[in-house]
Amino acid sequence: MGDLDGKVALITGAGRIGGMGQAAARRLAEAGANVVVSDLARDRPELRQDETHGLGDDLAVMQQFAHDLTDEFGVRCVATPLDVTDQEQAEAAVNVATSEFGSLDILFNNAGATTGVGWFMDQTDQQWDLSWQVNTMGTRRLSMLAIPLMAANGGGVIINNISVGGLVADAGYGAYCASKFGVAAITKLIAKEHGKDGIRCVGVCPGVIDTGMAVANRRLVADLEGISDDEAWDLMLSAIPLGHAGSADDVAQVVAFLASPAARFVSGALLPVDGSMLE
């Protein structure tokens, strides 16, 4: 794996303990990058999957996480609030990276919402709009802010967390798949249009990953299929040839590779991290 010493990374959706954003922050810091971790840092009830698994993460918890990364790896890490649907907050988060560290070399668009999960004929306009605004427009918004900075600095890497739902549409995932297909298209467009600026854009496509969001997804599958949570989990795992779920760190290690010079000729690719679930 290539060295990221002195590089600056911004990660969205990094407020969830045990999530892919925090795992990626740890791997990038371990490789020597200075990291800005960001997330909502407030509650948005309309984005909750249920009463247990909301998306309103605590800024103080993120700040402690950043402090711990600084102590552990000897790099500089900071935390900042970021609702990816808010242009002012997006600009402020990017400004944190440039004001604290002087550049932005790596953007991991990890923030996402599963409000778009549900049967096609049952989903509301609000579910479609929220899914689009968070997953697709959030990725577009942060990327548009990062591209000029990266181009001025001779290049950079944008990594989009797409999920396998952006590669294959599945029954019961309605607006979620549509929004993630949009992210897949954005990934390839940026790679095509800004390769000349030294910018690589790649997509990482996790399958079933054992995180807090997977717990909520298990409940959604149970509701959709009319089965118990345990039966839903068994159903999800039965689709994976390796026979088990992935971990947040499985995704994070791929993100760290894609961000590194070792992947310097990888751009426009959509890389499944799914235990061969789609094959």
**Is 173 a catalytic site residue?**
no
Q: Which residues of 50-73 are buried (b: 16+ CB within 10 A; e: fewer)?
A: eeebebebebeebbebbeebbeeb
Q: Out of 176, 181, 233, 257, pick the active-site residue.
A: 176
φ, ψ of residue 200 to 5 degrees: the values are: -100, 145
Q: Which residues of 150-182 are buried (b: 16+ CB within 10 A; e: fewer)?
A: beebebbbbbbbbbbbbbeeeebbbbbbbbbbb
Q: Are 35 and 11 spatial neighbours (Cβ–Cβ below 8 Å)? A: yes
CA atoms within 13 A on the CB side of 271: 20
Q: Which residues are catalytic?
A: 176
